[in-house]
Structure 1
Amino acid sequence: MTLLRRLVGAERWSYEALCLHFARAARETAAKKANPRIAHVAVSQRTYTRWLAGDLKGLPSREACLVLEYLFTEHVTTAEELFQAPVDEPVSSGCLERPVGPNVLIGGVLPPAGVDPALVPHWQGMLQVLSAAHNALGSAQIHQSAVREMPVIRGFRERASGGLAVSLRSVEARWAEFASWTADTMGDPQRAAFWLDQALVLAQYADDPALASYVLMRQAQGAVERGDAAAALSLAGRAWQSAGGSAHDRALCAVRQAEAYALAGDGRGSRRAAAEAVRLVGQAEQIGAADDAGVIDLAGPDRRGHDRTGWRTR
């Protein structure tokens, strides 16, 4: 038995629980080391099994070792110690407690078919980390990270039930929209459209009209860029109808309507929608709803402006 297996066993951490603690430790280590790459280190089911079995030819990656050292800092100084036989001394349960949310089951066993509700804020936090790291790491790497995570989210969502399943579907929709945005910034409109379609279906099934409206707004933007006036008008109108009470979100929809009307040659409709967008931006500034209202381009299309204050950073 390795020290790692003893420590995990003492805490009675399931794979899900370890992933939650590891992900939080990865984010904190990344901040401490000023290295955003560390925040993206994750533990697969296969890796989890191999770690506990001690089935390793060498140590994990340097980044993974740094996270493990941080997570088990009370017991080891180097990650290598975790994969060696433990010293014969008892390990008390609860000594590794590092809460990641109010619903995390610390020191308990999750049912085999159970899904931890703390996965919802966990993946929301991961999405914020990826969004923040976009400029440092580039679209391609961030897109790959998002796409690799999607099957994991879907797997837990399919095992969940009730309100938790709905919440996970909404989270999955946001990840799909993020994957679409990163594909867009990579210059891959076909892949971006695929993930945006997935995001819309997921948002609708999750009964998340605000997110569905945001996705429709992005689809309307794509239609404008393709020069498809009919599709742009239809999508922008649907986005406006399903938009919630957020002045900022409604302003984005109004911008897309203005662009669609202009593309269709309806100058009056375009001016009317643009005026509404201006009014809503002013309202958003007054109530502090927009992080930076200036990113909403009221003079013409802004390919990525809306993304800087979009769902990924909320």
Structure 2
Amino acid sequence: MTLHTAHAAGNNVLRAARLKRGWRSGEAAAKAVSTAGRRALNDAHFEVSPRTWRRWESARPGWPREDYAVALHAAFGLWPEDLGFEVPPGWVRPECNENTTPEAEVKRRAFVSATTAALTLGPVPPRHVDPALVPYFQKQLEEHYRADMLLGPHDLIGTVSAQYQLIDRLVRAAKGETRRGLLRVGAAYAAMIGWLYQDAGDLSAATFWRGVAQEIAVRSRDPHLIGYSLVNQAQVRTDLGDGHGVIDLCKAALENAGKLAPKVRVMAMQQQAHGASLTADRREVDLLIDQATDLLAQVDDDLPWGNACRRTPNYLEVQRATCYGRLGMGAEAGRLWEQVLADMPTTARRDRGVYLARHATAAATAGEPEQAVEIARQAAQITVETGSMRARRELKTLEQAMQPWHDASAGQALTDVLASVA
């Protein structure tokens, strides 16, 4: 084979791996590997450009730089030499012990990176901590909540984690009421970091940060914050599909319900409804959502965290629709999603993507595959823009719900729609 012929053939191994993943173009593959790399490297700015991907496929490429190698491995589960890259002289595949796969090692490094912000070692030098820092961080937290709705998790994780590190150092140096105030706001920051990792699809890091939030809440001795931290733990259990675990945690949060702010009780009840949906108890779902609805008008606190019930129109109907969808009640869920989506503000873009994906699944469950595909087109575009793994998971659920139409025109249309999200 001549040199020209070899270059014309290009990297057929990489091309075949791309097509096996369902990525029909180099642009789609570059986006998917970029997303995998951002998660594996914990780097919100990591990117593989379409031009780089075309270069990899058009010739037999040399060994990629280290971050590209990690991203390729995270995306394909293969090392670069398995993907047609030229191995440099003397390179040795990283060793893994008998209990550790290469994929697990990448995840371990990502997890260590995710948890570093909470694990500052050693004593903190004495310093004056101004009480005005407490409202400053509270105000910043509210802005982070707004940015999360617009951007999704990846662009915020680093910023919020860095601020938590600073709060943690200040807590160690502060005294009296300033220290207690910083503990309360620090718990809220840790809870938000847990949420960002959960939305990004990293449940290990999410669980760690939810645990950090709970520890700080207990140290603050704030009963409202302790209840909030238990609900946050229940959210992770919901994503894990552990209905009984969700119910246990929410019942613990509500054990002294009379001492809790109405907002915390609303949060615990609606999350317990999710647990009920996971255990196929439709009656309990409606009972809990109805009880939370009766409390919603009483939410009037100035706590800086847990304010989704204020920011999100039809907040509790969102929860009911989600539970109905989980219970397989497609028509009932679909009617609720139409109501919810009609009232959503344009600023809640990430949430809109998630809700559209759930609406599409409800349409498929109700036997309306064409409607499901049309709704999915909107959801897929927002999912790509925000990088929300929650939305991606919802689209995976839609893909399963559309299996009866896999070989029909609607099924093929959905495959084309989801190619951009893969």
Name the TM-score, length of structure 1 as normaliser: 0.54
How is 1:7-46 mapped onto 2 (pairs within 5 angstroms)?
none
Are 1:272 and 2:293 counterparts? no
Partners of 2:320 and 2:291 in 1: how far apart? 13
Q: What's the counterpart of residue 271 of structure 2?
A: 256
The 2-side partners of 1:113 and 1:181 are apart by: 31
Measure, in 2, the Cα distance between the counterparts of 1:209 and 1:246. Answer: 9
Aligned position for 1:187:
201
Checking the alignment, whether the CA contact within 8 Å between 1:213 and 1:242 is kept in structure 2 is no
State the secondary structure of the residue aligned to 2:314.
helix
String of CA shifts for 1:218-261, please: whole Å, max 9, x gaps: 22232123221221111111122355554343222111222223
1:293 deviates by 4.8
State the 1:174 CA deviation: 0.9
Deviations 1:183-221 (A, max 9, x none): 122222221111111001101110122122122112223
**2:314 alignment counterpart:** 294
Give the conservation status (yes or no) of the 8 Å contact 1:262–1:270. Answer: yes
> Hey, what's the Cα distance between the residues in 2 that align with 1:209 and 1:144?
29
| Match status 1:281 vs 2:290 | no
Taking the aligned partners of 1:213 and 1:292, their CA distance within structure 2 comes to: 21
Deviations along 1:118-177, one digit per CA (max 9) or x if unpaired, are: 111111122222222334554222110111122211111101122221111111111101
Query: Structure 2: any 5+ residue segments left out of the alignment?
Result: 1-125, 301-308, 327-349, 352-422
CA contact (8 A) 1:173 1:198 kept: yes
Report the equivalent of 1:142: 156
Distance 1:275 1:122 in 2: 36
SS of residue in 1 equivalent to 2:320: coil
2: CA distance, partners of 1:155 / 1:172: 10
Q: 1:127 to 1:300 in 2, by over 3 A?
A: same
Matched, 1:199 2:219: no
After superposing the two structures, state which structure 1 stretch, 234-243 or 267-276, moved more.
267-276
**Closer/same/farther in 2, CA of residues 203 and 263 from structure 1, 3 Å limit:** same
Residues 246/265 of structure 1: CA separation in 2 closer, same or farther (3 Å cut) = same
Amino acid at match of 1:191: A
RMSD: 3.0
SS at match of 1:299: helix
The 2-side partners of 1:188 and 1:258 are apart by: 24
Counterpart residue number, 2:247: 233
3-state SS in 2 of match to 1:174: helix
Equivalent residue letter for 1:290:
R
From the superposition, tell whether residues 135 and 226 of structure 1 become closer, same or farther in structure 2 (CA, over 3 Å): closer
- Confirm whether residue 161 of structure 1 aligns to residue 181 of structure 2: no
Per the alignment, do residues 261 and 133 of structure 1 end up closer, same or farther by CA in structure 2, a change over 3 Å counting? Answer: closer
Question: 1:301 Cα shift?
Answer: 3.7
Query: C-alpha distance in 2, partners of 1:229/1:154?
Result: 33
**CA 1:233–1:125: 2 relative to 1, 3 Å:** same
Secondary structure of the equivalent of 1:227? coil
How far does the alpha carbon of each residue in 1:69-117 deviate from its partner, in whole angstroms, 9 at most, with x for none?
Answer: xxxxxxxxxxxxxxxxxxxxxxxxxxxxxxxxxxxxxxxxxxx632111
| AA aligned opposite 1:189 | L
Offset, 1:272? 2.7
Matched, 1:130 2:144: yes
Deviation at 1:277, TM superposition (A): 2.2
Quote the Cα distance in structure 1 between the aligned partners of 2:206 and 2:148. Answer: 16
State whether structure 2 residue 234 is matched by structure 1 residue 212: no
How many Å separate the matches in 2 of 1:240 and 1:126?
29
Aligned length: 193
Instruction: Indicate if the aligned counterparts of 1:277 and 1:298 stay in contact, CA closer than 8 A.
Output: no
> How has the CA–CA distance of structure 1 residues 133 and 229 changed in structure 2, closer, same or farther, with 3 Å as cutoff?
closer
Unaligned runs of 5+ in 1: 1-111, 306-314
Contact 2:206/2:236 (<8 A) preserved: no
Worse-matched range after superposition: 150-159 or 258-267: 258-267
